[in-house]
Amino acid sequence: MKTSSLLIRTPEGIIFSQLLAGPVTRFLAWLIDSLCIGVLLNVLGTLLRVLDLLSLNISLAAITVGYFVINTGYGIFCEWAWRGQTIGKKLLGLRVVDAEGMRMQFNQIVTRNLLRFVDMLPAFYLVGGAACWFSRRCQRLGDVAANTIVIRTAAVTEPNLDQLAPGKFNSLRHYPHLAARLRQRVSPGEAATALHALLRRDQFEPAARIELFRELAVHFRLKVAFPAEAMESIPDEQYIHNVVDVIYRM
């Protein structure tokens, strides 16, 4: 089954995840890289025109070799120099890493780049894209051969809690021991769901909004039972707001 993240379990029993990059993002990174290669080839062509003064033959030979080296070596050089990133990958927050979490070796970089010759067949990376699409770890053939994956490295930003109207009265805060228990019992996924529901609340249809927050409130009320006076006359949306406030703003 296809997953969006790869879990790696260390011998110490610790599990960490790597967010896998999808085929579309990778294709966009490739488009940027193609543009960079195009610019490099243009610059090289212009610079080597100087050799025309010396010999047209030598100039043509230098351009032929230069084009080949840039086309083949761009990925190898960039990924080696920037630890798994090309310009396109840098811009889109992607990075090539070893599929088992180890340090990436030079031979892995070369292997995945040489396999591009097959991945790019018949045009526009159709083979590589199809392989990536069907692969559980979103690997093109070069990644399979080199045992590498492409992950997303975009910096994780803190949620913008100011959008949640800070400073509002929160009845749950009167019960710090229950608030602490709530923080323990709510999983990161549940917390994120509640937070995103609040951040996007204005985008929902009124009926859907009421229904969504009702379901969320029922779910979170089962986590920790607050006294009745803390819950009195609080609508579901306000309750979820209070829960998120307790979880994220300690």
Partner 1 sequence: MIIDLHRFIAAERPCWTELEKMVGRLEAEPNATLDLENIQRFHELYERTSAGLAKLTTFSSEPATRRYLENLVARAYGEIHETRDKRRRIFPLKWFTKTFPQTFRRRIRVFYLSLAITLAGSAFGGGATAFDPESRHITMPFGHDQLRPSERVKQEETRKTDRLAGHRTSFSASLMTHNIQVSIFTLALGITCGIGTILMLFYNGIALGAIAVDYVADGQTSFLLGWLMPHGVIEIPAILIAGQAGLLLASGIIGWGKRMSLARRLREVSPDVVNLSFGFALLLVWAGLVEAFLSQYHEPVVPYEAKIVFGTVELIWLVLFLGKSGRR
Chain contacts with partner 1 (rule: CB under 8 A):
8, 10-18, 55-58, 60-62, 64-65, 67-68, 72, 83, 97-103, 105-108, 110-111, 114-118, 141, 144-147, 156-158, 180, 183-184, 186-188, 190-192, 247-248, 250
Which residue's structure tokens are 């803190």?
158
- Indicate the residue among 193 and 210 with the shorter CB distance to partner 1: 193
In whole angstroms, the minimum distance from the beta carbon of 212 to partner 1 comes to 19
- Indicate the residue among 32 and 62 with the shorter CB distance to partner 1: 62
In whole angstroms, the minimum distance from the beta carbon of 32 to partner 1 comes to 23
- Indicate the residue among 65 and 225 with the shorter CB distance to partner 1: 65
In whole angstroms, the minimum distance from the beta carbon of 233 to partner 1 comes to 27
CA atoms of 162 and 9, how far apart (whole Å): 36
In whole angstroms, the minimum distance from the beta carbon of 121 to partner 1 comes to 9
Residue 77 burial by Cβ neighbours in a 10 Å radius (0-12, 13-18, 19+):
middle
- Indicate the residue among 22 and 66 with the shorter CB distance to partner 1: 66
Residue 162, token pair as written in the block: 């100011």
Q: Which residues pair with 6 in a beta bridge?
A: 18
CA atoms of 212 and 197, how far apart (whole Å): 8
Please report, for residues 12, 177, 219, 248, the alpha-carbon distance to residue 183 in angstroms, rounded to integers and kept in the order given. Answer: 26, 10, 14, 9
Q: Which residues pair with 18 in a beta bridge?
A: 6
